[in-house]
Amino acid sequence: MTELNLIAEQPDFLVLDKPAGISVHSEDGAGVVAQLSTLRHEPLWLVHRLDRDTSGALLLARHPAAAAALGELFATRQVAKFYLGISARRPQKKTGLVAGDMQRSRDGNWRLLREQARPALTSFVTATAGDGLRAVLMRPWTGRTHQLRVAMKALGAPLLGDTRYGGAAADRLHLHAWSLSFVWQGALQCFRAPLPEAGAFRHAVMRAQTAAWCPPEQIVMPAPSPAQKARIGADQED
């Protein structure tokens, strides 16, 4: 069984530091939700998702009422999410907003389109991460499947370890769900997952840059316009 570490424990929910390489949910009991439920001897409800190869902060409800309320916060985009990524290439821009519809290709991958009928929206800012690498702080305003990975490919800087989208080979996908913040029962809740002790996340420069970006909510980066937000539509999470 995978070692699972909690970031926070509250009466209504848990925040897990999800390891990379394990699915959030599976029918055979091998998913992270099933494993943690077994360890804690209590049922848990998944209210959002992370890709199998993405590490970081995962919110789990402890009872059905909390699951419904937290799910509504995600559905109505009242949860601020920030991710950290590393690329072996320099993005086309140091900061910006990636916006466009997403379409699945015949090979099962996703691609970003020029059309803006129901755009995926990602704000980002980049900095050096040492050893010729680039650190990326990303705020997804939508939660489409592979959205951040596709956004980085569109910027000409696919994530390190993301060979599916043209990234340089590495021991893991360098994408980490770093921060979640939302208002719960009238109080602001902020949770951050520690930087992984793996791959290029261990570089001293990357750790220093992460400290400079904390708290991420105060980092200035381009945000979607009201018109873009109005066209978002429903999300499709992995």
Name the band, by pLDDT with cuts 50, 70 and 90, for residue 236. Answer: very low
Question: Is 176 part of any domain?
Answer: yes
Question: Is 82 part of any domain?
Answer: yes
The overall longest dimension of the chain from CA atoms, in Å, is 48
Pairing state of beta strands 133-140 and 80-87? antiparallel
Q: CA-CA distance, 184 to 70, in Å (whole number)?
A: 9
Tens digits of per-residue pLDDT, 48-92? 999 999 999 999 999 999 999 999 999 999 999 999 999 999 999
| Full domain range(s) for residue 50 | 5-230
> Average pLDDT for residues 198-223, to the nearest whole number?
96
Q: What pLDDT, on a 0 to 100 scale, did the predictor assign at position 232?
A: 82
Computed over every residue of the chain, the mean pLDDT equals 93
Question: What's the CATH code of the domain at 226?
Answer: 3.30.2350.10
Question: Is 235 part of any domain?
Answer: no
Point out the residues that are catalytic. 51
Question: Is 238 part of any domain?
Answer: no
Question: Is 208 part of any domain?
Answer: yes
Which residue shows structure tokens 């519809």?
Answer: 101
Question: Is 236 part of any domain?
Answer: no
Counting the structural domains of the chain, the total is: 1
Question: Is 109 part of any domain?
Answer: yes
Q: What pLDDT, on a 0 to 100 scale, did the predictor assign at position 238?
A: 39
Q: What pLDDT, on a 0 to 100 scale, did the predictor assign at position 234?
A: 55
